[in-house]
């Protein structure tokens, strides 16, 4: 089945309005590949027919499925390790007893969320209260992240010591997998949040990780997302973006203090 340029433009605009994600023409093959399975599942003859399904009031579940398929969820444990080294150095000087709140704003399937939780648990004193808010626009990804259950082959970045300390190794039917331990799971809250929409009252946060998400927005949306995130930072708080992303020209209030790390005065 072919996807016409006009129909692709309609999908692109729909995604922009619903999630803020920008789908340029180069993403047309990706859209065809990811939504083709839904056409077959719904016995539809064209992408235009599927778009009309998404417009029907009673099809909210299908709309969420489409969003899940069209948003990218590439992630891994302790990805871009320099940022975790930076976080550890911050935590080493963290005043004992001072609460720390951290927001992982693009949680995906949870690997980054649990990497952050492990880092906080390993580097803060037992007298220091801490909590992580994990959010994503994809309900399916959030549910996977909340479960905290992963194939061991995906956990190479964690390291054996951390695996023993924070995870439960699967046995029998669960062999070859691991589950994030209850102590960490109790510290993490999950919420479905669209970064392109007005944010709910969730802050202030001492640290916000918002990595590998700005690259999917157009310049106007990037500016809006960064501005809203900055408003959720406590004074002196830090916003962390990917090494491949930059806030140059987006937010003059924030000051670059390390690669990908910006501080609010």
Concerning whether 49 is annotated as a catalytic residue, the answer is no
**Catalytic position from the list 136, 162, 206, 211:** 136
What's the CA gap between 20 and 105, in Å, rounded?
14
DSSP code per residue over 138-200: -HHHHHHHHHTEEEGGG-TTT-HHHHHHHEEE--GGGTTEEEE-HHHHTTEEEEE--TTSPPP
Concerning whether 227 is annotated as a catalytic residue, the answer is no
* Spatial strand order in the sheet of 205-209: 188-192, 130-136, 100-104, 205-209, 233-240, 261-263, 255-258
**Catalytic position from the list 34, 63, 154, 263:** 34
Question: How buried is 235 (Cβ within 10 angstroms: 0-12 exposed, 13-18 middle, 19+ buried)?
Answer: exposed
The catalytic residues are 34, 136
């Amino acid at each position: 089945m072919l996807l016409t340029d006009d129909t692709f433009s309609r999908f692109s605009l729909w995604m922009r309005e619903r999630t803020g994600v920008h789908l340029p023409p180069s993403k047309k093959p990706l859209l065809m590949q990811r939504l083709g399975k839904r056409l077959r599942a719904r016995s539809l003859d064209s992408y235009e027919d599927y778009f009309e399904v998404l417009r029907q009031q009673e099809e909210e579940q299908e709309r969420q499925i489409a969003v899940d398929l069209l948003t990218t969820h590439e992630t891994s444990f302790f990805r871009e390790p320099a940022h975790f080294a930076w976080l550890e150095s911050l935590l080493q000087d963290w005043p004992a007893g001072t609460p720390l709140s951290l927001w992982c704003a693009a949680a995906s399937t949870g690997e980054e969320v649990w990497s952050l939780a492990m880092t906080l648990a390993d580097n803060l004193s037992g007298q220091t209260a801490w909590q992580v808010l994990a959010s994503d626009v994809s309900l399916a990804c959030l549910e996977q992240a909340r479960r905290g259950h992963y194939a061991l082959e995906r956990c190479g970045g964690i390291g054996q010591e951390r695996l023993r300390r924070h995870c439960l190794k699967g046995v029998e039917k669960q062999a070859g997998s691991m589950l994030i331990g209850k102590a960490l799971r109790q510290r993490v809250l999950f919420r479905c949040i669209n970064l392109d929409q007005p944010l709910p009252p969730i802050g202030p946060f001492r640290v916000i990780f918002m990595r590998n998400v700005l690259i999917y927005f157009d310049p106007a949306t990037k500016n809006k997302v960064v501005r809203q995130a900055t408003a959720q930072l406590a004074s002196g708080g830090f916003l962390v973006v990917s090494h491949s992303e930059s806030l140059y020209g987006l937010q003059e209030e924030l000051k670059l203090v390390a690669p990908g790390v910006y501080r609010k005065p």
